[in-house]
Amino acid sequence: MAKESEFVGVALEVAQSLLASPPYVVRRGASLLYQVTVDNKLELSVEVKNPVKGQSAFQTDLCVFEIINTEVTIPRVVLEFKTKVTTHDILTYSAKATKHKQVYPYLRYGMVASSEQAVPGRLFTHNESLDFFAAVDGLNNDELREFLSALLQAEIAASQRLEAVTFNSHKTRLFRSEVVA
């Protein structure tokens, strides 16, 4: 499979073609807040509508945003890309997902590995906050496009359901985590 940066470019192209018009926009290298604090004058210490890396924000590989209005764009799905995945990667990105979800409780966060043919067992051992992991080695271009398209559509829908539950516009009787074979 391609190097990580090339693979991110392919995924960006797929995402942009799938989400070619509002209310969605896909950004490469977008920064998302990991904390929002107030200073000693009870004023926000960060710009919540325009996060900047290094100022309580981490940079992401790809992020799907939903445009709410001209002033508000919220993150829906983060995709972090790796070629091969280590235990360190899982621990790091799971921790990042935890921090981002403290600010954006409806955010879906996952990893895509271009040189993995199956989800590694260490993901099940070490993951705490990643919502998905996609092992895409061996997929041809058409299969990859179809796979990423289905993944993005499912994760956007899951984010919208989480938002509705989180902000009490929807009630649910069931929550479950599922492994797809």
**In this structure, what token pair is assigned to residue 16?**
């942009």
Query: How high is the pLDDT of residue 2?
Result: 55
Residue 59 pLDDT exceeds 80: yes
**Span 15-44, pLDDT tens digits:** 888 777 789 999 999 999 999 988 899 988
Confidence at residue 13, expressed as pLDDT on a 0 to 100 scale: 84
Architecture of the structural domain at 4-166: Alpha-Beta Complex (3.90)
Q: Is 108 strand, coil or helix?
A: strand
Give the CA count within 13 Å in the CB-facing half-sphere of 60: 32
The full set of domain ranges for the chain reads 4-166
Residue 130, pLDDT score: 97
What is the SS3 assignment for 152?
Answer: helix
pLDDT score of 8: 83
Residues 6+ apart with CB under 8 A from 93: 80, 109, 111, 130
pTM: 0.89
Find residue 108's DSSP bridge partners.
77
Average pLDDT along the chain: 90
Q: Residues, the chain, total? A: 181
Tokens linked to 113: 């590995």
Q: What is the pLDDT of residues 91-145, one digit of tens each?
A: 999 999 999 999 999 999 999 999 999 999 999 999 999 999 999 999 988 898 8
DSSP string, 58-95: EE-SEEEEEE-SSS-EEEEEEEEEESS--HHHHHHHHH
Is-contact 83 113, C-beta < 8 A? yes
Q: Which residues contact 10 (CB under 8 A, 6 or more apart)?
A: 2, 141, 144
